[in-house]
Amino acid sequence: MGISENSNINIVHNHKTNSIETANELKGKLRSRGFTVSDTISEDAMVNICIGGDGAFLRAVHASNFSSVPFLGINTGHLGFFQELCPSDLDELIDSLEQKSYSIEEIELLKATVYTKHDSFTVKAINEIAIKGVSSKVIHIDVYIDGDIFEKVSGDGLIVSTPIGSTAYNFSCGGSIISPKLKTLQITPIAPINSKAYRCMNNSLIVPSCSSLVVRPEYRDESSLSIISDGIQYNHHGIREISFGYSGHKLKKLTVEGKSFWNNVREKFL
């Protein structure tokens, strides 16, 4: 599905001074070229432009409930893995929008279905969903792959990440970087405990997306878990089981410069 054939553009930004200044400059340039600009995300637009760092990008995507309109990022933060352009690239961006010289990348969304004692709910993510203890409490989680118990993870928690999210929290915890061309799930323990009492893997585990991946906390930890989706935290009581897989929905990301995933990795990390 391509970009909308209209001239409406949504612009959102964080509250940092350089983000506000960039947003105001971009709005002026766009309006002078005949575009209509909105400060909120609506579905009647050709693109959602997010100004800030990766955190601002992810918050905007979640706040829009994973809008079907393509997203594009302008980096005024630090790493900016999702933020393809710099504030100095505004004229180039507008030229690309006018000439339609861009491409649309589709990103698979991760989904966790959480079952509690009384109900169930789902959580989606672009990068990862982490399971951690409330107030940094050590937790014990049984990991099941394709219906079989694989191991018990004891420690601060675990991360389930997508390939595009393998460069985020997963990478900081020692996980591997995976090409987004591969459809996998990566399970990475957070500060695992290894002692005479507890033994678990120190490294990440990569499984195909078709695998059934389920985690179950020990009964004493059912009310001590936080579910963190792309940095957004949810606390629920009585969690019995969490199953992971792809949601079937995709996020569209507009790309102007055509940089490859590995070019991004090299520029941001090496």
**Annotated binding residues:** 54-55, 59, 127-128, 156, 164, 167-172, 191
**72: nearest Cα among 55, 49, 52:** 49
- Angle (CA) 260-264-265 rounded to 5° is 115
* 118 neighbors 92 (Cβ within 8 angstroms): no
Enter the tokens of residue 160. 């389930």
Backbone angles phi, psi at 85, to 5 degrees: -105, 160
Q: Which member of 39, 54, 142, 146 is catalytic?
A: 54
User: Can 54 be counted among the known catalytic residues?
Assistant: yes
Instruction: Report CA dihedral (233, 65, 81, 202) to the nearest 10 degrees.
Output: 40
**For residue 138, how far is the Cα from the chain centroid?**
25
Helix (H) or strand (E) holding 9, with range, is: strand 8-13
- DSSP assignment letter at 85: B
* Binding site residue list for NAD(+): 54-55, 59, 127-128, 156, 164, 167-172, 191
d(CA 249, CA 261): 21
d(CA 111, CA 147): 18
**18: nearest Cα among 47, 56, 46, 45:** 56
Catalytic residue list: 54
